Amino acid sequence: MGLVTGACFAASGHQVVCIDMDAAKIALLHQGKLPIYEPGLDRMIVRSVEEGRLDFSTEYAAGIGDAEVVFVTVGTPMAGQDGRTDLTYVLNAVADVAACMGDHAVIVIKSTVPVGTGDEIARKIRLLRSELDCAVVSNPEFLREGAAIADFMQPDRIVIGAEEAAARDVVVKLYRTMVGQDVPIVCTGRRTAELIKYAANAYLVAKISFINEMADLCESIEADVEDVALGIGLDHRIGSAFLKPGPGYGGSCFPKDTQALLVTAEAHGRHLRIVEAAATVNNARRHDMVRKIADACGGTVDGKMLAVLGLTFKPGTDDLRESPAVAIVHLLVAEGARIRAFDPAAMPRLGDLAGEVTLAETAYGCVQDADALVILTDWPEFAGLDLLRIRKSLRQPVVVDLRNVFAPKQVAEAGLFYTSIGRMPVRGSEARWSAAAE
Ligand code: UDX
d(Cα 193, Cα 206) in Å, to the nearest integer?
20
> Which numbered atom of ligand 1 lies nearest the CA of 112?
7
Q: Any binding-site annotation on 142?
A: yes
Tell me, using a 6 A CB cutoff, whether residue 286 lines ligand 1.
no
Q: Ligand 1: distance of its center to the CA of 28 in Å?
A: 28
Q: Is 257 in the pocket of ligand 1 (CB under 6 A)?
A: no
Q: Which residues of the chain have pLDDT under 70?
A: 436-438
Q: Is 155 close to ligand 1, i.e. is its CB under 6 Å away?
A: no
Interval between CA 251 and ligand 1 midpoint (Å): 7
Report domain extents, the chain. Answer: 2-188, 192-438
CA distance 136 to 161: 9
Query: Is the minimum distance from the CB of 326 to ligand 1 under 6 angstroms?
Result: no
- Neighbour count for residue 262 (Cβ, 10 Å): 20
CATH fold match for the domains 2-188 and 192-438? yes
> For residues 187 and 140, what is the distance between their CA atoms, to the nearest angstrom?
12
Give tens-digit pLDDT for 84-115. 999 999 999 999 999 999 888 999 999 999 99
- CB atoms inside a 10 Å sphere around CB 240: 14
For the CA atoms of the chain, what is the radius of gyration? 24
2-188: CATH number: 3.40.50.720
- Class for the domain spanning 192-438: alpha beta
Point out which residues pair with 107 in neighbouring strands: 70, 136
Decide whether any atom of ligand 1 lies within 6 Å of the 4 Cβ. no
- Supply the pLDDT for residue 438: 65
76 assigned to a ligand binding site:
yes
- Best of 111, 196, 204, 230 for a ligand 1 pocket test (most atoms within 8 Å of beta carbon): 204
> Quick one: which H or E segment has residue 417?
strand 417-419
Ligand 1, atom 31, lies closest to the CA of 244
Q: Which residues are catalytic?
A: 253
- What percentage of the chain's residues is helix, strand, coil (to nearest 5)? 45, 10, 40
208 in contact with ligand 1, CB cutoff 6 A: yes
Q: Which residue has the least CA distance to atom 33 on ligand 1?
A: 242
Residue 200, amino acid? A
Burial of 147 (0-12, 13-18, 19+ CB in 10 A): middle
Residue 107 DSSP SS3 = strand
- pLDDT reported for residue 434: 76
Cα of 254 from ligand 1 centre, angstroms: 7
Q: What is the pLDDT of residue 426?
A: 84
Determine the length of the chain. 438
Atom of ligand 1 at shortest distance to CA of 244?
Answer: 33
Q: What is the rounded distance in angstroms from the CA atom of residue 314 to the CA atom of residue 269?
A: 35
pTM of the predicted protein model: 0.93
